[in-house]
Amino acid sequence: MKKSLIALAVAGVVSAPAFAATSNVDVYGKLHVALSFYDDSNMSDTQVSSNASRIGFKGTEDLGGGLAAIWQIESGVNLDEQNGTFANRNSFVGLKGGFGTALIGNHDTPLKLVGRAVDLFGDTIADSRNVMGGGSDTRGDNVVAYISPNWTGFSFAAAYSTDPVSAQANAGDVADMSLYNLSATYANGPVYVGFAYGDGDFHEAVGWGAHYRLAGGFTFGDFKLVGQYDSLEDDSTTVGTLAGDYDAWMVGGSYTMGAMVFKANYMQGEYDTVGTNYIDPEQWTIGMDYNLSKRTSVYVLYADGQNITLGAGGGTSDQVAGYPASNVADDDNSAFSVGVMHSF
């Protein structure tokens, strides 16, 4: 599994080496740009996209007695279109000690992070959130979170947001718009298992019920297998944002051969009510990463599916929807993408 997410410490950045006992400010980031060739049956296009590129600043202050103050400010940048938003990614202040970690600010939900741990094509146009997203899979504003210590691979996290979608408004948090998330994970040796639950007034306000997520992975030698299952209830009394309860699943695998990582996955979602306005999505992807160094890699992938928006899950700066405006029939959507990633 991804080392930064093994303990699911509401982001690996909280437990990263940069939070050692030092008062220095650490600058970090990830630059990710891809050239993609899209075909959605209605049109073909070529685009340069910035995929979840970011720059951040983080640090700590040793308060004595095993207690430390921690902070982080992380901002998204679109390398292809010269824009971004300051502190729009995980940004917080908190305390860390033997009791665990507590933070306040804006941050990925624990449910979101359970899914991030098993996505083989995360932050690309083929991100699993093209099908497996929605519900509590979000980065919430106005978050108070707690992350437990790691007990021989087991840890849990809890997060509460007074208003997860305030969208930088200067007005106060919207009343009765809260969101809460819980997760439990086990990561020890080759095994990863994560379970998460999300619900709250925010869900009810948009017609959702509870959101459940189960994810797992197993590594043996150079092979890795991953899987994920999501269930999001439709709680609307009239026509809501869902056409009934939504269930989705994903399976995937990878094989590492030297500097090359070959990988593939398949995912499918299904609404339990058939309607003309909602069509079941599916997507399959194959690709290869080539690691030029520990910090720089290039990749190539091909993704194909129906009723999806390629790039939507990973926050790609250029997204292509694969369904007609009327949403009345299945529509294919595919893309070939070549990208480069550099972390610093």
Report the run of H or E that residue 168 belongs to, with start and end: none
pLDDT at position 244, please? 82
pLDDT at position 169, please? 62
Give pLDDT tens digits for 114-132: 999 999 999 999 999 999 9
Q: What is the DSSP string of 181-200?
A: EEEEEEEETTEEEEEEEEES
- DSSP β-bridge partners for residue 186: 154, 193
Alpha carbons within 13 A on the beta-carbon side of 159: 36
Dist CA 46 CA 37 (whole Å): 5
Report all structural domains of the chain as residue ranges with CATH numbers, in order of start. Answer: 3-343 (2.40.160.10)
**pLDDT at residue 92 tops 90:** yes
pLDDT at position 180, please? 96
- Range scoring the smallest mean pLDDT among 102-111, 199-208, 285-294, 313-322: 313-322
Q: What's the mean pLDDT in 85-100?
A: 94
pLDDT at position 209, please? 93
Q: What is the DSSP string of 317-341?
A: SS-EE-S-TT--S--EEEEEEEEEE
Give pLDDT tens digits for 270-292: 988 755 555 789 999 999 999 99
DSSP 223: E
pLDDT at position 273, please? 72
- pTM for the predicted model, two decimal places: 0.88
pLDDT at position 165, please? 85
**pLDDT at residue 309 tops 70:** yes
- What percent of the chain has pLDDT above 90? 67
Q: What's the mean pLDDT in 305-324?
A: 79
Mean pLDDT of the chain: 87
Dist CA 64 CA 68 (whole Å): 7
pLDDT at position 320, please? 78
**pLDDT at residue 16 tops 60:** no
Give pLDDT tens digits for 161-209: 999 887 656 677 888 899 999 999 999 999 999 999 999 999 988 889 9
DSSP E strand stretches across 79-222: 83-85, 91-97, 100-108, 139-147, 154-161, 179-188, 191-199, 208-220
Q: What's the mean pLDDT in 196-224?
A: 95
DSSP 43: -
